[in-house]
Amino acid sequence: MYKLNDAGMAIVESARAVAGSTLASTAVETDSQARFPRESVQALRDAGFFGLTLSPEVGGQGQPPRTFAAVVEELAQRCASTAMIYVMHVSATQAIAASPTLTGKQELLSEIAAGRHLTTLAFSERGSRSHFWAPVSRLESGGNGEFVTSANKSWVTSASHADSYVSSAQQPAAGSPLESVLYLVDREAAGVQIGDGFDGLGLRGNDSSPVTLNNVAIPAGWLLTELGAGATAMLEVVLPWFAVGTAAMANGLSRAAVSATSRHLSTGRFESTDSLLRDLPNLRARLAQMSVRTEQSRALLAHTTRAMEQPDAMTPLFVLQARLAAIQAATDVTDLAMKACGGAAFSRQLGIERLFRDARAGWVMAPTADHLQEFVGRALTGLPLF
């Protein structure tokens, strides 16, 4: 589907192996206990996935978005919480890699590529809600060229486990929330306070907890962008990787729902008539619909990731559409799976209810389905995004 070269195929094989062993064996407990999937994240560290998209100069594998998409799709089929943690890590890593200002950038990227540093995004705030592009927190001058900030970050995936957060704030004396800056926060820095653990409907293992920053000192060398360049970095650097990653996660969930439904329809038996569930045409029709939506979404994502390698004016629109199509498909496909498999899906035995719950997170993560529709509609009618 993603037209990978031999190196890319070998990487995806490796992702499939990790997903089929460690992720598959811990996913149910990760979900039921809402516990961070340490073993799965460790397996990704050990297998070299932390530096998948980083350049070989820092020890990375230099892989493009299409390989990232194919890897995430494999992970999400087994444990979407782990896939989400990984998507946030890679998206934040791209902000670090693109930074023109970070002191010690090469050393940090080497640590990431070696699997010794997990990072994540801390964009959403209590005050900005899902409008991540408009932070309400602000960096203030702390003297000696340093900065200080306080913020209520509302959801930070891997909050208690990431080594650093890629965070956003308004620049000092900003005239608008769009005059922002990205900066790096050490999770163990003085003033960082992590809230109660995450207890959500889906993606229950990903520890997306609130984090409060209380007068946290930010050295000038920890700025990830120039002052005022935060919104551009969020939209042009982070968003494409986040969109591809979350689209792939949604596609993985859809694929898992198609497989589980197909298995159940092929084995569930009515003893009185000696027939199988698959003998009912309405259930076959639901499965066909599920498959069509899944493959449409995967094809759009594959097209988008190829376009990202030689971008033109339409590429950003495809990126937004690929995420929108995938999160819509995953909510619809997992809903159809629940209906096709009946009470067996409603109970935990088939694992379909977990896919159904996990798929709903993609819809509300910013940019949400509403934002994406608005952005795409504005772009198609020649209006500015904001």
Ligand X SMILES: Cc1cc2nc3c(=O)[nH]c(=O)nc-3n(C[C@H](O)[C@H](O)[C@H](O)COP(=O)(O)OP(=O)(O)OC[C@H]3O[C@@H](n4cnc5c(N)ncnc54)[C@H](O)[C@@H]3O)c2cc1C
Under DSSP, the state recorded for 2 is: -
Which of 34, 368, 376, 379 binds ligand X (CB under 6 A)? It is: 368
Which of positions 235-274 make contact with ligand X (CB under 6 A)?
Answer: none
The minimum distance between CB 277 and ligand X, in angstroms, equals: 32
The minimum distance between CB 133 and ligand X, in angstroms, equals: 10
Which of positions 172-201 make contact with ligand X (CB under 6 A)?
Answer: 200
Residue 164, amino acid = S
User: Using the rule CB under 6 A, is 19 a contact of ligand X?
Assistant: no
CB 104 within 8 A of CB 221: yes
Residues 6+ apart with CB under 8 A from 345: 264, 337, 338, 352, 353, 356
User: Using the rule CB under 6 A, is 85 a contact of ligand X?
Assistant: no
Which of positions 343-362 make contact with ligand X (CB under 6 A)?
Answer: 361
User: Using the rule CB under 6 A, is 328 a contact of ligand X?
Assistant: no
CB 241 within 8 A of CB 88: no
* Dihedral, CA of residue 261, residue 263, residue 265 and residue 269, to nearest 10: -140
CB 354 within 8 A of CB 312: no
| Tokens matching residue 84 | 């989400």
CA angle 91, 93, 98 (to 5 degrees): 100
Which of 129, 263, 303, 339 binds ligand X (CB under 6 A)? It is: 129
User: Using the rule CB under 6 A, is 326 a contact of ligand X?
Assistant: no
User: Using the rule CB under 6 A, is 118 a contact of ligand X?
Assistant: no
User: Using the rule CB under 6 A, is 203 a contact of ligand X?
Assistant: yes
User: Using the rule CB under 6 A, is 165 a contact of ligand X?
Assistant: no
The minimum distance between CB 250 and ligand X, in angstroms, equals: 13
Query: Residue 67 or residue 154: which is nearer to ligand X going by CB?
Result: 154
Query: Residue 54 or residue 83: which is nearer to ligand X going by CB?
Result: 83
Cα–Cα nearest to 242, from 118, 341, 132, 137: 132
Could you tell me how many residues of this chain bind ligand X (CB under 6 A)?
23
The minimum distance between CB 5 and ligand X, in angstroms, equals: 31
CA angle 252, 27, 14 (to 5 degrees): 60
Cα–Cα nearest to 204, from 351, 348, 86, 34: 34
Which of 23, 134, 156, 355 binds ligand X (CB under 6 A)? It is: 156
* Maximum Cα–Cα distance across the chain: 82
How many angstroms separate the CA atoms of 226 and 182, rounded? 8
Which of 124, 294, 297, 334 binds ligand X (CB under 6 A)? It is: 124
CB 35 within 8 A of CB 207: no
Query: Residue 2 or residue 123: which is nearer to ligand X going by CB?
Result: 123
The minimum distance between CB 205 and ligand X, in angstroms, equals: 10
Among positive and negative, which fits the CA dihedral 253, 251, 366, 151? positive
The minimum distance between CB 129 and ligand X, in angstroms, equals: 3
User: Using the rule CB under 6 A, is 120 a contact of ligand X?
Assistant: yes
Site of interaction with ligand X (CB under 6 A): 88, 120-124, 129-130, 132, 155-157, 200, 203, 208, 361, 364-366, 368, 370-371, 374
